[in-house]
Amino acid sequence: MNEKKSFYITTTLPYVNADPHIGFAMEIIRADVIARWKKLEGFDVFFNTGTDEHGQKIWQKSIDAGKDVQDYVDGYAERFKVLNPSLLISPDVHFIRTTDAHHVKAAQEFWKKCDQAGDIYKKNYTVKYCVGCELEKTDSELVDGYCPLHPSLELEVREEENYFFRFSKYQKPLLDLYKKNPNFVVPDFRFNEIKAFVERGLEDFSISRLKEKMSWGVPVPGDDNHVMYVWFDALVNYISTLGWPEDEANFDKFWKNGTPVQYAGKDNLRQQSAMWQAMLLSVNLPTSHTIVIDGFINGAGGQKMSKSLGNTVDPFEVVEKYGAEALRYFVCRELSTFEDSDFTWERFHETYNANLANGIGNLTSRIMTMAEKNLTEPVSVPDKSIPQEFVDSLEKFELGKAINLIWDKIGLMDSRIQETEPFKLIKTDEEEAKKIIRELSVDLYTVARMLNPFMPQTSEQIKNLVKSNKKPEQPLFLRKDA
């Protein structure tokens, strides 16, 4: 028996300084769609997510809350862990915390290897620092003296002795990597952004903080006065989750010999597709295979979501009101796959009723009511019936295109019912009417197959109805009042 092909996919690790937000829900749902699809394709899938728990922002939040920092991160980590089943994320997803003992050890081992490569050194420096991003900022990145992502936060000017990573050394190796891998970053316009960033020249970045100023971090090996900068430690999670460096077999299977895919938001472009890749090159490990970059979710009119504006969206609330399958549908079809999108409750409500309650829900009811009434046995379904265009779209991470193909098929099936009216035709041409009903039932089963990675519960419900030749006892999606 041949061993299964392996596939690795990960989200970024959300920062545990606040409750889960709709943007991360979108990221993990989309990564889950790909993970589920690869399983259906016969791959042995390693799907990783978790929580990023070190750094100044978290340390300060715990102080403000009057809590022990470990207790503080424990509480938020649990909220993110509970999010997974709420969103119907694959139950075998791996959940790593950067405070896990194994991860801390792996981050320290990674540091040592970078040091052995001659890529870590210590120096005094002055820098402008955005606490919101937990990143240093150059003047060219600022707008009117502020970070464009956190315009309400004053930049900190820091003067201290830190350890640095020789990022500047990796300009050519990174450009070579990009040239050899024309699909390294998806979509193309994000790939062009990072290539332009690297082409402008790279500056070494700080990878430690003085413990006396901020003690919440992974201790730097061999120096009790420093802790690791949060980004350096957090990025290592992508391989520590596989058991690196001890579990060579698992690491080789999913990373070294696989095609590791990383999902991230556009604010993570530099960290994932340049900084992390340079770190991997430093320790002589294989780079990632593909970085998939999502856009942001904004409020009405493209306004940035913020608590002060009262336009944030709690994914738990969406699930409570409409169900996880509706949210999974919405973030994959109604929000742009790669560009920024707006979320409003009004739009969510309208698309829920139009495309779920009235769309797939109503179609399933109509077809299976006709089938139960007029067919004496369930239809025979083909072993394979998923269109190649759908497969190709998922392989390119074009989730919006893939799910639109499902609704295109739903539209064609609706039109066929309207045009042929098999429920009337049965009285004058029973054989032709039954043929149409059988074909519609088979098409419905294909729709269910295509829905599987996006809406696994709905997919299973429809498949069971077709295989048992039964109409649904309850609507798949109850129509909601405004």
Residue 426, CA atoms < 13 Å, CB-side half-sphere: 14
pLDDT at position 135 over 50: yes
Distance CA(151)–CA(146), nearest Å, equals 5
- Ordered structural domains, the chain, with CATH: 344-482 (1.10.730.10)
Inter-residue contact 84 to 93 (CB < 8 Å): yes
pLDDT tens-digit profile of 317-328?
999 999 999 999
Per-residue pLDDT, 340: 96
CA–centroid distance for 57 within its chain: 23
pLDDT of 371-421, one tens digit each? 999 999 999 998 888 999 999 999 999 999 999 999 999 999 999 999 999
Is residue 356 within 8 A of residue 406, CB to CB? The reply is no
Provide mean pLDDT across the span 436-450: 98
Residue 267 to residue 98: CA distance in whole angstroms: 20
Is residue 234 a contact partner of residue 98, using CB atoms and an 8 Å limit?
A: yes
C-beta atoms surrounding 52 within 10 Å: 26
- CB-based burial, 332-362: b 16+ in 10 Å, e otherwise: bbbbebbeebbbeeeebbebbbebbbebbbb
101-129 pLDDT per residue, tens? 999 999 999 999 999 999 999 999 887 88
Read off the pLDDT band of 308 (50, 70, 90).
low
Q: Is the pTM of this model over 0.75?
A: yes
Instruction: Please spell the DSSP secondary structure of 43-87, one letter per residue.
Output: -EEEEEEEEB--SHHHHHHHHHTT--HHHHHHHHHHHHHHHHHHT
8 Å CB contact between 404 and 335: no
Asked if residue 1 has pLDDT above 50, the reply is: no
